[in-house]
Amino acid sequence: MNFTAVSIAMAPEHLLLAGIVTLLILEIASDKAKAALPIAVVFVAAASAAAAWLGFTGWTGAPFPGQFDLAPPASFTKAIVLALAVPVLLASKDDFGKGEFYPLVLSSLYGVCLLASAESFLTLFLGIELMSIPVYVLVLMGFRRPESAEAALKYLVLSGTASASFLMGASLMYGSTGSLALESFALALGSPRLLAGTAVVMVVSAFFLKAAIVPFHGWAPDAYEAASVPSTAYMAVLVKAGVLVAAARVFGKAPVAEPLAGLLAILPLVSIVWGNIAAMRQAGLRRMIAYSSIAHAGYLFFAFLGDGPGRFQAVVFYLATYGVMNILAFTALPSHPEDVERDRLENLKGLFRTHPFAALLIGMAMLSLAGIPPFPGFVGKFLIFKNVMAAGYTTYAVLGLVGSYLGIYFYLRVIQYMFMTPEAVSGGHAPSRGVAMGASLICLAGSILIAVLPGTFLARL
């Protein structure tokens, strides 16, 4: 272990840690804490820039051999994830003016960064917990809603169960291969032993639970609905990104063989169909996004059917497009004095007349999430389904595509409400604020960048 290597390779993590410490000192030193938001934004942006710099210079190495290593794809993943967190932080100004929100988000981001470079189940476990534990508190902090404690408890119990199942899988893998390195998962995938098979199934179901794939999705709609809007955006995008990046690290380039391929195809397929159908019946945008994110987790797990080398690229690119569009929708949503009323679809009626800019941005996000061609969401879906077909799972690819068309209905319904219906009587949204507007503009710039230059992004992942 070499001191310079550690400080360079972990620069994004170190910057986040510095941010957490600064924010905590600020919290203790003064009780006004107006500076918390700019400090958090500066540190996250700096960490993102550091990760991008590590990626562009092609920094490769393992400061902690066997536990933490870094290669350009991991650096770019960190850069994208941290950049996505900046608009979330900016959008939180109205809901969380005071300090507690920011150290929690930064420590959760630290976990996500750790996941992108984890090389063993030990680091991966630390990353997952570091990512999820602050999120329980973020859900709880939507305390303008009395239901938030209930949602936080449901999330905590299910997420804790998933962690235990993940650890049991890791332990069995340790027993059958003798190491906790991530390569032992690939070994276990190819092994005919019952112990190894059980271990694989336990780890995969833990990922399904954390990413809200259908039989394990019960916590997601409740947690998304009861959290306040910035926390929902954080969970829907960054926590999901962390879980999927971890899954992509665990699977690595290992080919997926038959019994597991069935599990990896059928449950995600069911969640695509069920997520899209259930989203149609929802009355609030947050709950609708929750069900649609269940469907999106389905598309993302489809990517694991594809061949090894293209997998990580497809997953991260899809996460970037899905994430930027989801955050765009959440940041553009004008604030409302009543948190429950803020995202009711009824209240979005005629939004184009009262908030034309917000309505246009939300409309664009909906079209992209639905996967309509000129928008980046289409490229992400295309990449995943192309890989699935190339690996020979044509039937599943076709069924998944059919399922994804179900989703177009409810995305277009939001657009119909905003543009084609007269103004709601009880709309009452506050006028858009400067900071939130800036957050949406960052997302807009990001999505235009991805839409115009998808090739440059893909070449780097």
Partner 1 sequence: MDKVMMLQVLAASLFALGLTGVIIRRNVLVMLMCMELMLNGVNLSLATFAHTMGSAVGAVLVFLIFVVAAAEIAIAIPIVLLLVRRKRTLDIESYSDLKG
Residue 445 engages partner 1 in binding (rule: CB under 8 A):
no
Instruction: Indicate whether 140 belongs to the interface with partner 1 (CB under 8 A).
Output: yes
160 binds partner 1 (CB under 8 A): yes
Chain centre to alpha carbon of residue 28: 31
Binding flag, residue 221, partner 1 (CB under 8 A): yes
The CB-of-98 to partner 1 minimum distance in angstroms stands at 18
Look at residue 64 and give its three-state secondary structure.
Answer: strand
DSSP letters of 207-223?
HHHHHT-GGG-THHHHH
* Least Cβ distance, residue 253 to partner 1 (angstroms): 23
How far is it, in rounded angstroms, from Cα 369 to Cα 404? 10
By CB under 8 A, name the one of 43, 110, 136, 318 that touches partner 1.
136
Q: Least separation, in Å, of the C-beta of 27 and partner 1?
A: 18
- 3-class DSSP state for residue 142? coil
Question: Does 261 sit near partner 1 (CB under 8 A)?
Answer: no
Should residue 180 be labelled a site residue for partner 1 when binding is judged by CB under 8 A?
Answer: yes
Segment interacting with partner 1, rule: CB under 8 A, options 39-47, 84-92, 166-174, 349-357: 166-174
SS3 344: strand
Q: Could you say which of 174, 357, 382, 419 contacts partner 1 (CB under 8 A)?
A: 174
CA pseudo-torsion sign 55, 59, 60, 61: negative
196 versus 319: smaller Cβ distance to partner 1: 196
Residue 14 CB, shortest distance to partner 1, in Å, is 21
List 48, 92, 165, 354, residue binding partner 1 (CB under 8 A): 165
Indicate the residue among 126 and 270 with the shorter CB distance to partner 1.
126
333-337 LR contacts (CB < 8 Å, sep 24+): 333/229, 333/285, 333/358, 333/362, 334/358, 334/429, 334/430, 334/431, 334/432, 334/436, 335/94, 335/95, 335/229, 335/429, 335/430, 335/433, 335/436, 336/428, 336/429, 336/430, 337/428, 337/430
Q: Using CB under 8 A, which of 45, 149, 449, 451 touches partner 1?
A: 149
Task: Considering the complex, state which of residue 69 and residue 443 has its C-beta at the smaller distance from partner 1.
Answer: 69
Q: Is 172 in the site for partner 1 (CB under 8 A)?
A: yes
Out of 38, 175, 190, 215, the only residue in the binding site for partner 1 (CB under 8 A) is 175
Q: Residues 293, 410, 222, 336: is their CA dihedral positive or negative?
A: positive
Between CA 419 and CA 398 the distance in angstroms is 32
Rounded to whole angstroms, the Cα distance separating 76 from 53 reads 9
Does residue 222 interact with partner 1 by CB under 8 A?
yes
Is 171 an interacting residue with respect to partner 1 (CB under 8 A)? yes
Stretch that binds partner 1, among 143-151, 262-270, 419-427, 430-438 (CB under 8 A): 143-151
Contact residues for 28 (Cβ-Cβ < 8 A; gap 6+): none
**Residue 133 contacts partner 1 per CB under 8 A:** yes
Structure tokens given for 370:
């639905």
What SS3 string covers 291-312? HHHHHHHHHHHHHHHCCHHHHH
Q: Does 458 bind partner 1 (CB under 8 A)?
A: no
Instruction: Enumerate binding residues for partner 1 (CB under 8 A).
Output: 120-122, 125-126, 129, 133, 136-137, 140, 146-147, 149-154, 156-157, 160-161, 163-165, 167-168, 170-172, 174-175, 178-180, 218, 221-222, 225-226
